[in-house]
Amino acid sequence: MLNLLWLVPTFPLAGFLLLALCGLPKRLAAWVGVGSVGIAALLTLGIAVEFLGMPASEQVFRQTLWQWMSSGDFTATFALYLDPLALVMMCIITGIGFLIHLYSVGYMDEDPAFSRFFAYMNLFVAAMLVLVLGDNLVLLYLGWEGVGLCSYLLIGFWYDSPENGYAARKAFIVTRIGDTSMAIGLFLLFMHLGTLDIQQLMQSAGDNWAQGSLLPTLAAALLLGGALGKSAQLPLQTWLPDAMAGPTPISALIHAATMVTAGVYLIARTHELFMLAPEVLFVVAVIGVLTLLISGFTALVQTDIKRILAFSTMSQLGYMFLALGVGAWSAAIFHLMTHAFFKALLFLASGAVIICMHHEQDIFKMGGLRKRLPVSFWSFVIGGLALAALPLTSGYYSKHEILGATHVFARSGDTLWAVAVLGALITGIYTSRLIFVVFFGADKTHADESSIGLNIKLPLIILCVLSLFGGLIHVPLDRVFPLQQVLPHLAGTANALTIAAPFVGILIAYLFFYGKPELSEKVAANSLGKMLQRFWFSGWGFDWLYQKLLVNPLMWLVRANKKDVVDSFYHLIAWLIRLLHRLLSMSQTGRVQWYAAGIALGVVVIVGLGVWRQHLWF
Amino acid sequence: MVLVWLILILFLGGILAWLADRTRLADPRWIAIATILIDLLVLISFSLSSSSVTIAGQEWWATLDLPWIPRFGIHFILAMDGLAFLMLLLTLFLGLIAVLSSWTEIKKSSGFFHFNLLWTLAGVAGVFTALDLFLFFFFWEVMLIPMYFIIAVWGHENRTYAAIKFFIFTQASGLLMLLAMVALVYFNYQQSGQLSFSYFDLLGANLSGAPVFWLMLGFFIAFVVKLPGVPLHTWLPDAHTQAPTAGSVILAGILLKTGAYGLIRFCVPLFPEESVIFAPTAMTLGVISIIYGALVAFAQTDIKRLIAYTSISHMGFVLLGVYAFNSQGYQGAVMTMLAHGMTSAALFAFAGSVQQRIHTRDMREMGGFWGSAPKMGAIVMFFSIAALGMPGLANFIGEFLVLLGAFKANSWITVVAALGLILAPIYSLVVIQRIFHGKPLVPRDISDFSSREVLMMGMMMLITIGLGLYPQPVMETVGLVLQMGVS
Amino acid sequence: MISIPVEHGLLLATILFCLGLLGVLVRRNIIFVLMSMEIMFNAVGLAFITGGSRWQQADGQVMFMLVLTLAAAEVAVGLALVLQLYKKFKTVDIDVVSDMKG
């Protein structure tokens, strides 16, 4: 079974090729699109069963497909590497991917570009699988760029409107900034360690580099750049909210469950390197808490249902980065998994709401949908509970682990923990704000769930179950990561605060958005409130800052030089020559007498030169 | 002898195409295709059967050495190795694409057009195989003149200006090369007493005392004009923009490669020590080309002009790789040459077909074409993302290896060069956005690619993917040649 | 026989040549231009004669005969041109008919 590993990315890829090249009718396109990922999921399941059945110490499998390129001392092979970490990611990608594909059949039903959508989706799944299975960093980079491309294609899927195209390009270019940093990191690693094979690289980094020395710090920081771009962390986070321009299943699959977690995966995959660079790890933790806090506040004031979820995704990714930063590796991956469950659920549920609302996304135009859309409502409640990490939901287990590990972290763990708990409080507020505004209150619409079929409801129900009980899954990562010295265990006040935070958040939201809505209006009305609201709404002004600092100067430079300033130098030469030409052609008067005079003068000069040459030359 | 035939077939085919058109006996397009196919056949069957000889510590698949003007030590030397073979393959393949891409475009004197096209190809084939410096210079000029006619006669609205600019730049730099060549031969004669233009004789020349650095510079400038590198690039946007589609395809796909080939074959091996000294400057020029080309490309509204500037950006990688002096840099440079040959040829062919359909190259007048021409959209999307260096496609292999090699040679310059990776999507994706996405300003239906165009693009796509996923055979073919520069 | 010093002869030839040249350069009437050219021819002829008498050689006189013939031929062609010019343009002013411009 393990030898079939290569088939897992191959099936979605074949699906992509079929859909892209053959122009299949819609029904068949749906079968191919969903079926290819379904087969990949089944294969993954088989592989997982066999793999986990092996003794824990042997849980590594490598499959070399072909030699990709080899130049001098550099070699990159097309080889897949399976270990428990990759397996967890594979399960998430194919499992959740399959559910979302199934959902998409319903969601994209009326879209004329149905098969193009599935083609892109299949390509994405294939690329994401290559990313997590890649044995070397070049292959990982292939997947990394591949998912970025699919993200671009799918954000700009509805290409008629220029805003979508803009959002798509923004996503691609902002992540490309991170990718370039990562590429430079690869060059650095290769230059000093002579290989890009991940396992050898980690081995050799540990052997050759001292902890905290310059090179590992530099290399880790460069890789971190890539992770920040992909996972939408500060300061490369601005693309993710705009990415919501794509169809909702995309937001669920790419911008919540899988692609954006690639940064977390990268750091976890190269954790040996990061452990050699404690400074960088600390930066990871700090960036994590900053992002979770900033995007939490931003989510508080958004009005677009998908943007709220987008900012909450950034915030949850912040938790994962925090976990990585404090060395709680398995907790990060655990949260990655539970987050994939509940955030996919929330996005898909929001997609269902959006369909039922005929593509209305403003939450304040919704309201009282609780009775009208029961499936969506319960999905939202369950997803929201898990997102807010109420006890016994899946989110609780993973987030609790992270907060626990943070609390005992040696280096200002208290502060990090406090901020993270504040973040949890805010998570509670914005999640319940969303639910209260959309599903409770006055009934403003005539929506109903008749337009959504079983292929939409079924994935929702399965994800509900996973969101509730997914926390009980034991992630088999014990041998991948080093064991934590201090077992994270919160006790006493810290524990109580950690558990209480989301409840307090829900309470506040209840008060402001359900119990006494006039209270929130009052806060929003005073000048400080207005200012804060505007500031938060804009995502803390990052877009504005980048526009002023980077985009505008670049655009100015580009426009100023449209005519290519270098060419003006050659134009100058041409102009000089033309000037000379004009001067000389002035002597061509066409009058014989002038010419005769010229001849005479010439004779005089030449004779004179001959006569007085001694005085001239010698 | 096969080497002579490779070139001769093209010359003869050109004359035949002209005659056929004058006598109305046959369609010159088919004659051109047949000529190129026969030449391809000869080349491939030869490459399969060849055995290698070693001259000057280097393996050659075939050589031919005939006295030509013995008084001046000028020989008729043709030779082929892996690099030359790949370049010839690229030349003939893109020649085929060029004929196909101008299939319906050329209305007046089609025979003379195909004559020029084939003679350009013949000149290029000569450049890639000639190993006598004088002969090399001869072919260098041969490929220039028919190209001048192609631009000047069949070009677009500003063709005379572009053609003359192209001619002057190439001619002036060619003169520099000729001077450097003659001086090199002369100094070698002074040292060794042997008057010879032969590459093999000059390779080992010991030129102590001569102003060798200036000679190297003469060669370097001639090749960098052709490459082109900033700041010697300004002929290119005009020539590419004004040339007919086939002309742009050949210019971008093949003629630029002769500059890179010259650097690899002549400039570096003839002057190894000077080249090492010069390397930081050359790499800096490469980086400037990468960044500058990308920035100017982004500003353009004329689609052919935009693609032309991206060529400058991509060829900057070649310059960077060649002067990294390690096998990654070298092989990356050759891969970039091949990959850029495919993508730029495809994009120019696309630009030509758009111009033929809507009679403008201005992207501001386009938009929303995806709806009416999805095949065209998908294909152009493919080549755009190939051009921005998507892993799994040929350009990535080239650029990645170049940067990997260059990083070892000079880390800081390479870090700046890597910024080109950020700029590439900015200009590539804006093409897609302006032409295929959004809504058209003037609602117009553009007809999708015909099966001829799909066939032509399909071939290039297959090669791009093939080179991206399994570049190893190509890199092994190249491998041996480049060892020489790595000393 | 009183011999005239060769310097005097050459000086006279130079002066005549310069006068003729001046005439060619400044006159606008083509007849006068032709006449000035005649003067230049004769100046050259005088120089030859002077040289011939200085070195007692016949070559100088031979050359003068050649110059005379040439001058005659030139005048014949020149006057024919002048007549044609006058027929065509009704003027003998050479600036008016100056068409030879680059």
Q: Is residue A57 in a domain?
A: no
**Interchain pair B475, A69: CB under 8 A:** yes
Expressed as residue numbers, the domain containing A407 is 285-525
- Band the pLDDT of C102: cuts 50, 70, 90: very low
Residue A3 touches partner C, C-beta closer than 8 Å: no
pLDDT in tens, B14-48: 998 888 888 877 788 888 889 999 989 988 888 88
Quote the percentage of chain B above a pLDDT of 90.
37
Predicted confidence (pLDDT) at residue C65 exceeds the cutoff of 90: yes
Q: Is residue A314 in a domain?
A: yes
**Interchain pair B404, A67: CB under 8 A:** no
Shared domain check, A419 and A568: no
Quote the percentage of chain A above a pLDDT of 70.
98
Mean pLDDT of C28-54: 90
pLDDT score at A489 = 66
Give the nearest partner residue to B433 out of A165, A183, A558, using CB atoms: A165
Shared domain check, A568 and A515: no
Average pLDDT of the residues of chain A: 86
pLDDT, greater one: A142 or B50: A142
Give the nearest partner residue to A177 out of B422, B433, B436, using CB atoms: B422
pLDDT score at B126 = 93
Contacts of B295 in chain A (CB under 8 A): 557-558, 561
pLDDT score at A488 = 59
The chains found to touch C (3+ Cβ pairs under 8 angstroms) are A
pLDDT score at A515 = 75
Q: How many CB atoms lie within 10 A of CB A195?
A: 18
Give A354→chain B minimum CA distance, Å.
23
Predicted confidence (pLDDT) at residue A536 exceeds the cutoff of 50: yes
pLDDT, greater one: A603 or B57: A603
Shared domain check, A590 and A510: no
Q: Is residue A513 in a domain?
A: yes
CA atoms within a 13 Å half-sphere pointing along the CA-CB vector of B251: 40
Predicted confidence (pLDDT) at residue A411 exceeds the cutoff of 70: yes
Predicted confidence (pLDDT) at residue C33 exceeds the cutoff of 60: yes
pLDDT score at B486 = 43
Mean pLDDT of A202-216: 87
CA atoms within a 13 Å half-sphere pointing along the CA-CB vector of A62: 10
Query: What burial class does residue A42 get, using C-beta atoms within 10 Å of its C-beta: 0-12 exposed, 13-18 middle, 19+ buried?
Result: middle
Contacts of A176 in chain B (CB under 8 A): 421-422, 425
**A to C CB pairs, distance under 8 Å:** 28
pLDDT score at A486 = 53
Predicted confidence (pLDDT) at residue B288 exceeds the cutoff of 90: yes
**Interchain pair A74, B430: CB under 8 A:** no
Predicted confidence (pLDDT) at residue A29 exceeds the cutoff of 90: no
Cis peptide before B231 (omega within 30 of 0): yes
Q: Is residue A453 in a domain?
A: yes
Mean pLDDT of C72-100: 84
- Band the pLDDT of B464: cuts 50, 70, 90: very high
Point out the domain boundary residue: A475, A506, A525: A525
Q: Is residue A373 in a domain?
A: yes
**Interchain pair B433, A152: CB under 8 A:** no
Shared domain check, A483 and A573: no
Give A113→chain B minimum CA distance, Å.
10
**Interchain pair A590, C26: CB under 8 A:** no
Predicted confidence (pLDDT) at residue B74 exceeds the cutoff of 60: yes
Mean pLDDT of A366-392: 83
Predicted confidence (pLDDT) at residue A242 exceeds the cutoff of 80: yes
- Band the pLDDT of B485: cuts 50, 70, 90: very low
Q: Is residue A89 in a domain?
A: no
pLDDT score at A485 = 53
Mean pLDDT of A97-107: 89
End-to-end CA distance of chain A: 98
Give the nearest partner residue to A592 out of C21, C94, C102, using CB atoms: C94
Mean pLDDT of A598-616: 85
Please provide residue A362's backbone torsions phi and psi, each rounded to the nearest 5 degrees.
Answer: -80, 120
Predicted confidence (pLDDT) at residue A40 exceeds the cutoff of 80: yes
List the structure tokens of C81. 């041109």
Shared domain check, A398 and A352: yes
Average pLDDT of the residues of chain B: 87
Residue C101 touches partner A, C-beta closer than 8 Å: yes
pLDDT score at C1 = 52
Predicted confidence (pLDDT) at residue C100 exceeds the cutoff of 60: no
Predicted confidence (pLDDT) at residue B217 exceeds the cutoff of 60: yes
Shared domain check, A388 and A463: yes
For chain A, what is the domain count? 2
To test the contact with chain C by mutation, choose from A581, A593, A601 the residue with the greatest count of C C-beta atoms within 10 A, namely A593
**Interchain pair B392, A559: CB under 8 A:** no
**Interchain pair B425, A146: CB under 8 A:** no
Determine the residue type at A220.
Answer: A
Q: Is residue A595 in a domain?
A: yes
To test the contact with chain C by mutation, choose from A591, A595, A599, A603 the residue with the greatest count of C C-beta atoms within 10 A, namely A591
Q: Is residue A85 in a domain?
A: no
Mean pLDDT of A193-219: 88
Shared domain check, A511 and A568: no
Q: What is the dihedral of CA A324, A325, A327, A331, to 10 degrees?
A: -30
pLDDT score at C2 = 64
Shared domain check, A506 and A369: yes
Shared domain check, A425 and A309: yes
Rounded distance between C-alpha atoms, residue B317 and residue B330, angstroms: 11
Shared domain check, A578 and A510: no
Shared domain check, A587 and A480: no
pLDDT, greater one: B270 or A588: B270
CA atoms within a 13 Å half-sphere pointing along the CA-CB vector of A466: 20
Mean pLDDT of A345-374: 82
Q: What is the three-state SS of chain B?
A: CHHHHHHHHHHHHHHHHHHHHHHCCCCHHHHHHHHHHHHHHHHHHHHHHCCCEEECCEEECEEEEEEEEHHHCEEEEEEECHHHHHHHHHHHHHHHHHHHHCCCCCCCCHHHHHHHHHHHHHHHHHHHHECEHHHHHHHHHHCHHHHHHHHHHHCCCCHHHHHHHHHHHHHHHHHHHHHHHHHHHHHHHHHHCCCCCEHHHHHCCCCCCCCHHHHHHHHHHHHHHHCCCCCCCCHHHHHHHHCCHHHHHHHHHHHHHHHHHHHHHHHHHHCHHHHHHHHHHHHHHHHHHHHHHHHHHHHCCEHHHHHHHHHHHHHHHHHHHHCCCCHHHHHHHHHHHHHHHHHHHHHHHHHHHHHHHHCCCEHHHCCCHHHHCHHHHHHHHHHHHHHCCCCCCHHHHHHHHHHHHHHHHCHHHHHHHHHHHHHHHHHHHHHHHHHCCCCCCCCCCCCCCCHHHHHHHHHHHHHHHHHHHCCHHHHHHHHHHHHCCCC
pLDDT, greater one: A617 or A524: A524
pLDDT, greater one: C92 or A97: A97
pLDDT in tens, C22-31: 998 888 888 8
- Band the pLDDT of B487: cuts 50, 70, 90: very low
Tell me the ipTM for this assembly.
0.90
Residue A66 touches partner B, C-beta closer than 8 Å: yes
Q: Which residues contact A460 (CB under 8 A, 6 or more apart)?
A: A103, A345, A348, A349, A352, A375, A376, A379
pLDDT score at A497 = 83
Shared domain check, A456 and A593: no
Point out the domain boundary residue: A525, A550, A584: A525
pLDDT score at A142 = 92
Predicted confidence (pLDDT) at residue B207 exceeds the cutoff of 80: no
